[in-house]
Structure 1
Amino acid sequence: MTSAACSSNPSHSAGSFGPIERAANRLVGAAFSPHRHDTYTIAVTMAGVQAFNYRGEIRYSLPGQVLVLHPDELHDGHCHDEAGFSYRAAYVPPTHVQAVLGGAELPFVVDGVSPNPALVAAAYNMVIDCAGVEDPGAYEDALYDLSEAMNQETGKVTAARIANRTAVMRAREFLDTAVVDGVQLEELEQVSGCDRWQLSRDFRALLGTSPYRYLQYRRIDLAKRLLREGATLADAAHGAGFADQSHFGRTFRKAVGLTPKEWLRSDLFRTIVL
């Protein structure tokens, strides 16, 4: 039996970056012939075992690992056994990674596959979590984490520097006023007077999270208040600035560990910190 199912389409990314290509594939008995991309291929195997030839050796990608192929590297792809495999991928232009790294050499994951937890988490965020999310900040956040994780995987460490506390506090104060409307990194650049990617590093260093996730936490706080006041799930999602109820549900579960419905049924719903 030979079959292949594939969907590939551009999805919205960060403001000036434009859309990137994403794919969801299932192969049984089929194979990709040798080819190249001018982007990074970031893929996670969802089921089965993906086999591919890369840099003179056959490699295998299993669920729980991340496949990272460097731009312009020849590779193929085929089934390891008759069960086939399925995967999801995002094709990230090297110029996007360069925007984060600021002129540093592009990271090269030599083996093409890694089980590194930080890189796997960053890849899942890029490939799955922010796919279809209209908020450009989701892609910017995923891009930062992926670029830094790839850099660390190759043994490179961003040079230490003193974080710009003034810029971070200005950015945080602005985010507190933009919970419903949202904000993009270029706006934070103007408010803070700091380069967006350096601001992302400093924000993480001083506040323990990224500007994007800080905003999502504030939105969840607002949604909880609206729900306590009797709002429906749909009204709470809209009132807290989420694009749709599905995005609200995913973000809520990441922040709280429960779906909004489970939270409403729990004792946490009645817990109010004074």
Structure 2
Amino acid sequence: MAPRQEVSAWRPAVPGVVEVFHAHFTGYAYPMHVHEAWTLLIVDDGAVRYDLDRHEHGTPHDTVSLLPPHVPHNGSPVTAGGFRKRVLYLDADVLGENLIGAAVDAPDLRDPVLRRRVGQLHSALARPGDELEADSRLTLIGERLRDHLRAGREVTAQRRDPVLAGRLRELLDARVVEGLTLDEATVLVRAHRAHLVRAFSTAYGIAPHQYLTARRVDLARRLLLDGRPPGEVAVAAGFYDQAHLTRHFRKLVGVTPGRYGRPGRTSVR
């Protein structure tokens, strides 16, 4: 089999994510190297064997690997079929240098929930206009990673905070079209990012980005029923573009914006 290399890389507009890197390699092996960023790695097909701090590790399907900054590591495929991986390079401040030692000791995390959340984050990062969702998911992933790295130490559970949740909902309601980043919200309500997301999700049963998207879809429905074209509605309702509107509109309403509200075509409740 001839060596195969497929690579896709981009820098998303999400604080803390330095680079997104997707690759399929068959005959390529990484030499020893270092990164300034945290490397958060999942393998979708095959497996990778790598050395970190002179110890050999591997990446089976249910594993999330977290390689710390400034620590040399390499990487090579385990089988002739190679491997397909998705990587997030996270700014060093996302987890902090005080957890580097813990990551060196235990870089491979067997956590199905974390694995699923990392996959969901990759999906959100690939969709322009879903930056709030990506930022929220990254916040909760960072919290779970810190919990793993603090193994052996008691981790205090986040408590319910309906007052804080209500304050965030008021902010989202006031900024349906222009939107709100987590950094802006934490400054305005003076709360930690992870606690803010958890408090909102606990209080309302929905994540902040899902709430904002639902409000935008509601606004889009009203504008479409006013007779405005989908392309114009997308911008007016706060979506990145018409494709962004169509994806979320079809998910929440069951039809595309172009079919919505046409006499004899769509029934609305």
TM-score, normalised with respect to structure 2:
0.77
Mapped to 2, the partners of 1:109 and 1:66 lie a distance apart of 14
TM-align CA RMSD: 3.6
1:122 partner letter: R
Match of 1:27 in 2: 25
Match of 2:56 in 1: 57
Match of 1:183 in 2: 180
The answer to whether residue 2 in structure 2 is matched with residue 5 in structure 1 is no
Mapped to 2, the partners of 1:128 and 1:95 lie a distance apart of 23
Match of 1:215 in 2: 212
- Structure 1 gaps of 5+ residues are none
Match of 2:35 among 20, 37, 41: 37
Mapped contact 2:10–2:20 kept (Cα < 8 A)? yes
Mapped contact 1:28–1:85 kept (Cα < 8 A)? yes
Mapped to 2, the partners of 1:194 and 1:10 lie a distance apart of 27
155-164 vs 216-225, greater mean Cα deviation: 155-164
Match of 1:246 in 2: 243
Mapped contact 1:90–1:126 kept (Cα < 8 A)? no
Alpha-carbon distance, 1:92 to partner: 0.6
Mapped to 2, the partners of 1:105 and 1:111 lie a distance apart of 11
Structural mapping, 1:129-140, within 5 Å: 129-131=124-126, 133=128, 136-140=131-135
Q: Helix, strand or coil: the match of 2:156? A: coil
Mapped to 2, the partners of 1:157 and 1:257 lie a distance apart of 44
Alpha-carbon distance, 1:204 to partner: 2.7
- Structure 2 gaps of 5+ residues are none
Structural mapping, 1:58-77, within 5 Å: 58-62=57-61, 65-77=63-75
TM-score, normalised with respect to structure 1:
0.76
Structure-2 change in CA distance of 1:196 and 1:79 (3 Å): closer
Larger Rg computed on CA atoms? 2
1:146 partner letter: I
Match of 1:119 in 2: 114
Cα deviation, 1:108-139, whole Å, max 9, x if unaligned, reads 38553445232112211333322363565344
1:210 partner letter: A
Mapped contact 1:233–1:260 kept (Cα < 8 A)? no
Alpha-carbon distance, 1:230 to partner: 5.4
Mapped contact 1:61–1:113 kept (Cα < 8 A)? no
Match of 1:141 among 126, 133, 136: 136
Mapped to 2, the partners of 1:168 and 1:112 lie a distance apart of 34
Structure-2 change in CA distance of 1:134 and 1:82 (3 Å): same
Alpha-carbon distance, 1:26 to partner: 1.9
2:56 partner letter: E
Mapped to 2, the partners of 1:65 and 1:220 lie a distance apart of 36
Alpha-carbon distance, 1:33 to partner: 0.9
Cα deviation, 1:16-40, whole Å, max 9, x if unaligned, reads x5x6112122212111112222322
Mapped contact 1:130–1:142 kept (Cα < 8 A)? no
Mapped contact 2:57–2:108 kept (Cα < 8 A)? no
2:22 partner letter: A
Match of 1:81 in 2: 79
